[in-house]
Structure 1
Amino acid sequence: MGFSLSPLAQQNGFRLEAFDTVGSTNAIALERAQSGDPGRLWIVSKKQESGRGRRGRAWATSHGNLAASLLVVGSFELKTAATLGFVAGLSLADALDAVCPQANIAVGVDGAGSRKEPMQIELKWPNDVLANGAKLSGILLESTQLPDGRFAIVIGIGVNVVAYPEDVPYPATSLAKLGATCDAETLFLALSDAWEENSRIWNEGRGLADIRKRWLKRAAGIGSEVAVRVDGAVLRGIFETIDEDCRFVIRDNDGERVKIAAGDVHFGAVASASAG
């Protein structure tokens, strides 16, 4: 089966460019924007060789994983557009619920046996999706200004479908490792459909309060110890919530509430060992 859009996405004017292998789906989407593409364009691939992660980190994927980028062109402010990362996280979580509802859970002290249980999908601020506590997906937003003064926003979504990186300082996983049989094409079909519902709720930022409520229901780590690396410094405290602008809110060791607009978040043992 090849990549395809859901009927609802097609009905609402979305288009699709699919590749077997690309350098970067985000880069292609940004090129399309500069060439005058009106947006509502998905760029997808099963292998990405020179993608980008947050803060300019290199990111490549194995063949069979999902790399998807959505080009959105609008007149809304960049501050508002930045919240599309939360829309993307919710959309992917909904898609995973639809097509990969269960995972293999190891049983016994030696992990020799397993049983099927519902997959626990959580959202980690700002733009990661976790499955059973390990990173399954990362989301990267990039923007470019257009000649007419508007901005083009590209929402890049990478999902570990068949393989996951092992040389990273945090737990990671893939759908295959979790025992899910969903492939990249099936997951993208569900994602393109789920995006329609969540972007309708977002409504160019007017429905952000509802998106925030939905995101918090799936949030990872609320009430737990957290360390946030911000511009080389590490802030520690308890993760309380995200505020109305989707900033990360912690209660620090002095009892003060601190709002963070950007940073790398670590929970639990990783917060204690890796973020200092």
Structure 2
Amino acid sequence: MLSDSQANEGDWLIASRQVAGKGRQGRPWQSIDGNFLGSTIVEVRPGDPTAPALTLVAGLALIEAVEVAAPGAPLSLKWPNDLMLADAKLAGILLERSGGRVVVGFGVNLAGAPQIEGRKTAALKPLAEIAAEAFCPLLAARFAQILAMWRTADPAQFAQAWMARAHPVGTALSVHNAPGDLVSGTFDGIESDGALRLRRDGMIDIIRSGDVLLR
């Protein structure tokens, strides 16, 4: 992750290899040669939408960048922070906040897919071949453009833009939102701040963090 206190918004750090990478809930992130491992910083400004909604910015930027690299690929976003290639995980996003700054980290399986117990994973190769150094400018450009849009757009409309790239409303899913705590229902969209709306037993649960498994 990018942690230099002198780094500014718009700066990017990419790595060819990580020895202590991590994903959600502190899980290890496997480093495979040729994959993209990169981070950038967002300065939270007065008047910005709520900072957790930056996950929507990251997801939209990521899917649009991958579409440039692999036109026609069957891509979709899965709440809260995964990019799917068909039914397999292609990339993940991790946000960490410190004071008025948010570090946004991306891991994209460009060349190879790590093995994750209980999860399908995929790599962009051989569907498309692109080096991490070439992918970074694509992602950086889309992230900057979408970040600027997020700062001026209506939050509800921005959430709808994310939903247009996600699995459809009514998709059956399960959410692990605490160790040993599993709830199941159907996808009912997201709130303007990016929280998940889970429909179950005729009610709507608002979930702000957790791991989702599509069923």
Q: Which whole-Å CA distance do the structure 2 matches of 1:167 and 1:257 have between them?
A: 31
* Paired residues of 2:163 and 2:189 also in contact (CA < 8 A): yes
Provide the residue aligned with 2:103 in structure 1.
Answer: 154
Which amino acid in 2 is paired with 1:63? D
Q: Report what 1:98 is aligned to.
A: 68
Check the 8 A contact 1:90/1:215 in 2, yes or no: yes
Contact 2:110 2:129 (C-alpha < 8 Å) held by counterparts: no
CA RMSD of aligned residues (A): 1.9
In terms of Rg, which structure is larger? 1
| Gap regions ≥5 residues in structure 1 | 1-25, 102-117, 146-150, 269-276
Whichever residue aligns with residue 187 of structure 1, its letter is F
Question: What is the 5 A alignment of 1:1-276?
Answer: 26=1, 29-30=2-3, 32-33=4-5, 36-76=6-46, 80-101=50-71, 118-145=72-99, 151-177=100-126, 179-203=127-151, 207-231=154-178, 232-252=180-200, 254-268=201-215
Q: Distance in 1 between matches of 2:8 and 2:128?
A: 36
Q: Is the 8 A contact 2:49 2:155 kept in 1?
A: no
| Contact 1:47–1:66 under 8 Å retained in 2 | no
Offset, 1:74: 2.8
Larger displacement relative to structure 2 (220-229 or 63-72) = 220-229
| Pairwise CA distance, 1:190 | 0.9
- CA distance in structure 2 between the aligned counterparts of 1:183 and 1:135, rounded to whole angstroms: 19
Structure 2: gaps spanning 5 or more residues? none
Q: For residues 227 and 200 of structure 1, what CA distance do their matches in structure 2 show?
A: 33
Normalised TM-score (structure 1): 0.73
**TM-score, normalization by structure 2:** 0.92
Distance 1:170 1:221, change over 3 A: farther
Identity among equivalent positions (%) equals 31
Q: Cα 1:262–1:195, aligned 2, differ >3 Å: closer, same or farther? A: same
What amino acid sits opposite 1:67 in the alignment?
Answer: L
> How far apart are residue 67 of structure 1 and its match?
0.5
* Cα shift readout 1:33-60 (whole Å, capped 9, x = no counterpart): 2xx4343211112222211100111113
TM superposition shift of 1:234:
1.0
Looking at structure 1, the residues matched to 85 and 173 of structure 2 have their Cα atoms a distance apart, in angstroms, of 19
Q: Deviations over 1:234-265 (max 9, x none)?
A: 1111111112222111111x211111111111
State the distance in 2 between where 1:236 and 1:250 align. Answer: 8
Offset, 1:221: 4.9
